[in-house]
Structure 1
C-alpha cells in the first residue's frame, strides 16, 4: 500500500515547479541544532512504485524548522513521481512544510554510486546549513557487505557505493565540519553489519540500520522528525530510537511487522566488538584445518540466522548474525564466544525484531554458507570492504577447506517397504556411518511423475517431516499423505530457514499479477496454521541488489502457483528444466493456508540433505500411490 499526496502538497509542488525550475538557490542560515542530509538514490524503488516520493511526502509533513534542516539530493532513477524532480540531472532540495524547495539544479547527471557525488553533497550541506549536530540518511537498496545503492541512470558508470567509498566521503565531510556525524542511517536492506559499522565508526557516533531486508515502505519519517523537533538536543541514540519506533509502528499498520529488524548501534563500542571478534576468529582459525572442527564451525554457521535469502528462485547474500554464530559455538569456544556476545549486547543501544527473525541481535557479518559456486569471487570482492585482514584470512582458509570437500553424502539405500527396520515407516534411507556427523540439513522431497517412464518429474517441494537416528544413520519419514494448499490449490513449498523448530519459513514460487515472486510463509508458535507474509521478487541478477519491497498481497490480486520440473531428454544426459504454471488463484478477503489430503495419484518421495561442505545429495525416489485414503508403495 502506498501513501498519496494531499491536495495542498500537490498544489505547493506545482507552484515551486514554476518558481524554481532551473534555478540555484543557496541562502546562508543560522546554526541550527540539527541538519539532516538525505542521500536519495531513487533507483527502481521510485521508478517502479514511487517509494522515494512517499518518503519525501512524509518528510514534508514536518518540513525544515528553526531546529532541523532537512536537505535531500535526488538522482539515480529513470522516473520521479513528483513532477518537479528531474530524472536527467541530480538536484538538491530543502524540505519545507508541505513543500520541497529547489536549491541546486546545475549538478548534471552524476552517478550516485561514486564517492565524489556523495562527498560533494555532504560537504555542501555542512557548509551551507551549519548545525550543532549532523545526521546523514542513505536511501535506496542495500546489499550488505557488498555496498549500498544502485543508480539505474548510470548502470555502467560505478552505480553502487562500496563501504570504502562511503567511508571516504564521510571522512571528507567530518574534516569539513570538524566534528563527527551524530547519526548515520541506512534506510536500505541488509546494512546493519559489522563491516559497515567498522568503516564509519571514526566518523559518526551512532548507526541505524537493518540486518534483514526492509519492507518497501522503509522508515516512517514524519514521527522521527517530529521527535527530533520536540527534542532538538537529542543524541543519535535518542533520534535512532525514534526512527526505530516509527518504523515498527508503520510496519504494524501496513502488515509487514513480521519481517522487520532495525538496530541502533553505538559506534564508540564497535572497536570492542572487533577485538572480541578477532579473538574469536583467532581461536577458530587454529582449528578449522581439523575436519572435525571445520564441521562444527560450518554447522554453527548453517544454524545462524540468515538475511537476504532469495528462497525458491535461488540466490543469497550470505549475511548472518554474529551473535548467533558465537552462541552456536560457545560450547567449543566458551570464553571467546561469551566475550563476543557480551560486546555486541553493549554495542546495541536499541533494536526491533520480528517473528521471522527472532535472533537478530543487531549486527551481521558476511560468512560464506550457501552460495558455494560464488565463494571465491565473493571473497575477492569482500577484500574491497577493508574489513579485518585476519577475518579475511580466516574466510580464505575456511572456504578452501569447504571447496576441497567435493564428496557428497554416501547413502545405503534401505528397502523402502521394510522402512529401515521400522514397520511403521514407509520410506527410509541409510547414511553411511562415516557421514552421519557431517549432516547439516535434512528434508523430505515430494514430487510427481509427469510421464509413465518417470523421465520428467514435477516438484511439490520440501518438508521437515524426517527423523535421523544418529547411531544407525537411518533416516525415516513421518509422512501423513497431506500437503499444503494456498487459496485451495496445492502449492510447491521450499524451506527457507528453521530456527529451533519454533520458526519455519517457506517460499512458494509463483507469479503475482504476472510477476515472478516467492510468496513468503511463516509457521511459528503464534501461527501454527501458517501465515502469508507477502511476496518478494528476490535478488536482481543484473544489479545484485535484493529487492526492498516485501509486497503485500491484497484482495483482487491474482496468484499463479509455479512448480519446478526436471527431465532427462536422451541417453546422452540432455535435460530440460524450468517452471510450469498452475491454476490462477483470485485473492479474496482472506488468503488461507490449509493442510489437506493429497488427491489420488502417483507420487515420488525422497530425501534431500547437505553436508558441512555444502555438498548436496538426493536419495533415490520411491514411487507410491494414494487411493481411498491409503498409501501404497509401488517399487
Structure 2
C-alpha cells in the first residue's frame, strides 16, 4: 500500500552535535509509528577521539523508523557537506519507500552569510548556533551553510543545497532544524526543488524539534497537504517553547511566491536607488531599526518595509512597499515568535559593515543575486 508520506531526516552529527543526535534519536524512538508514513534517517556521527575498535559505531548509517528504529545499512564514512551524499539519500529513500508526498528535515548547525569559525578554532558548544567571524586562512569563506562535517572539514553552501535537491521528484516540504536558515536568499535557491520551506530567522533553542510529537502531528489523518504539514510543524514548535525562557521563532513559506517577492523587492530597491540622494538617511535608519537582534547583518523583511513607509511619504513608493508586503504575507503560511520583538518570518542580508571580498563574490553568484540586481546595488549603496 502506497503511504501518504515519506519523511527524510538528514542528521549531520559528525561534529559537536553528536551527543545531541543520540538525544534526538531517543525522542524519535518514542514515536509509535503510523500506517500513513515511513520515516527514514541518515545519521553521520562523529569519529574524533575514538579508537579504531570503536569507530564502526560512529559511521554513517541509515534507519527506518516506524514503531521501532531499524538499522538498514552501514555506509561507512560519508561527508554531509557533499551535496551528492544528500541527493543519493533522497533518491534511495524514494525508491525504497515510495509515497504520495515527501518531506526532508535537515538537522545540524546552520549559519548565515558571515564566515563561520568552524575548523580554525574550537566551535561553540551551543547547539545549532552561529559560530564566529573567521575560518582558517587556507579555507575559503562560504555563503550560508548547513550540514557541517568535522571529518571532511566541509559543509553545504546555499548553492550546493539546490544541487543536493536535484532529484527526479520535488519535495513537498524542506524543514531546517538549524539556525538562521529563514533567509530569502536560501529560499530562492531551493524554489524549484521544494513547495514549502520551514526555518528559523535566529538561533534554534538547544532542544530543536520535539520529534515524537512532531511526527505524531504531521502524520495524523488530518494532515493531507503540504500546507497543513507546515502549519502543524510551526504549531508544534510554538507549543514546545511558548512557555519557556528561551527566545525562539519558526516560520513556513510557500516557495511558489518567490517570483512575486523578487518582483516586489526589485521594484522597491529600484525606487530607493533612483531617489538615493533624498532617501539615504531614511534607508539607513530603516536598516538599523529592522536589523535582527541576534545578527545585525540581516534585516527582518516585514519590519524593514514598515520602517521605510514610516520614513518616506511618497505614495508611489508606498505602492512598491505594499507589493512586497503582499508577497511576504501571501507566501507566509505560518509564523510564530516569542520573547523577541515582532518579526515577519523572513530575513534578507543587508550589512552595514563591508563583508569579506570572497564572501561578497559568492553572494553575487547566488540565484537570488542574479534575480535581484537592484537589491545588490542597494547593498553597495548602504555600504558606501
SS in 1 for 2:76: coil
| Aligned with residue 221 of structure 2, among 228, 231, 235 | 231
Does residue 142 (structure 1) correspond to residue 110 (structure 2)? The answer is yes
Q: Which residue of 2 aligns with 1:71?
A: 40
Q: Is the partner of 1:144 in helix, strand or coil?
A: coil
The residue correspondences of 1:183-198 to structure 2 (distance < 5 A) are 183-198=173-188
The residue number in structure 1 matching 2:86 is: 118
Give the structure with the higher percent helix. Answer: 2
Aligned counterpart in structure 2 of residue 368 of structure 1, from 351, 354, 362: 351
| TM-score normalised to structure 1 length | 0.51
**1:154 Cα shift?**
1.4
Q: Partner residue of 1:261?
A: 249
SS class of match (1:161): strand
Query: What are the Cα deviations for residues 574-593 of structure 1, in whole angstroms up to 9, with x where unaligned?
Result: xxxxxxxxxxxxxxxxxxxx
**Structure that is richer in strand per residue:** 1
Alignment of 1:455-494 (within 5 A): none
Give the SS at the match of 2:251.
strand
Is the 2:56–2:76 Cα contact (8 Å) retained in structure 1?
A: no
Which digits, 9 at most, give the CA deviation of each residue in 1:169-219, with x for residues without a partner? Answer: 222x2x1x3xx2111101111111111221222222211111111111011
**Residue in structure 2 matching 1:92, options 41, 62, 78:** 62
Q: What aligned pairs does 1:160-199 form with structure 2 within 5 A after superposition?
A: 160-171=155-166, 173=167, 175=168, 177=169, 180-199=170-189
- In the alignment of these two chains, the number of paired residues is 347
How far has the Cα of 1:86 moved from its partner?
4.9
Using a 3 Å threshold, how does the CA distance of structure 1 residues 244 and 233 change in structure 2: closer, same or farther?
closer
Distance 1:42 1:340 in 2: 38
SS in 2 for 1:329: helix
CA 379–240 in structure 1, closer or farther in 2 if over 3 Å, else same? same
Q: Which residue of 1 aligns with 2:368?
A: 387
Within the candidate set 6, 10, 13, 1:42 is matched to 13
d(CA) in 2 for partners of 1:255, 1:286: 45
**What secondary structure sits across from 2:69 in the alignment?**
strand
- The correspondence for 1:277, drawn from 243, 265, 278, is 265
CA contact (8 A) 2:182 2:199 kept: yes
Does 1:301 pair with 2:287? yes
1:385 CA drift (Å): 2.8
Kept in 1: contact 2:47–2:151 (CA 8 A): yes
Structure-1 residue corresponding to 2:121: none
Superimposed CA distance per residue, residues 329-387 of structure 1 (whole angstroms, 9 cap, x where no aligned partner): 1253211111111221111111111122x331021111112xx2535443223124321
Please tell me whether the aligned partners of residues 162 and 384 of structure 1 are also in contact (alpha carbons under 8 angstroms): no
- Which piece of structure 1 moves more, 292-301 or 213-222? 292-301
Task: Spell out, residue by residue over 1:71-96, the C-alpha distance to the aligned partner (whole angstroms, 9 max, x if none).
Answer: 1111153479xxx9956532111124
Q: 1:401/1:67 Cα in 2 relative to 1: closer, same or farther (>3 Å)?
A: closer
- Residue 514 of structure 1 aligns with which residue? none
Unaligned runs of 5+ in 2: 114-143
For structure 1, the residue ranges without an aligned partner over 5 or more in a row are 1-29, 310-315, 404-635
Whole-Å separation in 1 of the counterparts to 2:379 and 2:42: 42
For 1:23, the equivalent position in structure 2 comes to none
SS of the residue 1:341 aligns to: helix
**SS of 1:138's equivalent?**
strand
- Indicate how the Cα distance of structure 1 residues 33 and 323 shifts in structure 2: closer, same or farther if over 3 A, else same: same
RMSD (CA atoms): 2.6
- In structure 2, relative to structure 1, the CA distance for the partners of 1:143 and 1:129 (3 Å cut) is same
**Under a length normalisation based on structure 2, what TM-score does the superposition of the two structures give?**
0.83
Deviation per CA, 1:585-619: give whole Å up to 9, x if none. xxxxxxxxxxxxxxxxxxxxxxxxxxxxxxxxxxx
8 Å Cα contact 1:34-1:232 kept in structure 2: no
Cα deviations across residues 222-275 of structure 1 (Å, max 9, x unaligned)? 22211233226521221122222222222245532xx11111112222221121
Change (3 A) 1:254 1:273: same
Provide the C-alpha distance between the structure 2 equivalents of 1:202 and 1:33, rounded to a whole number of angstroms.
22
Q: Name the larger-Rg structure.
A: 1
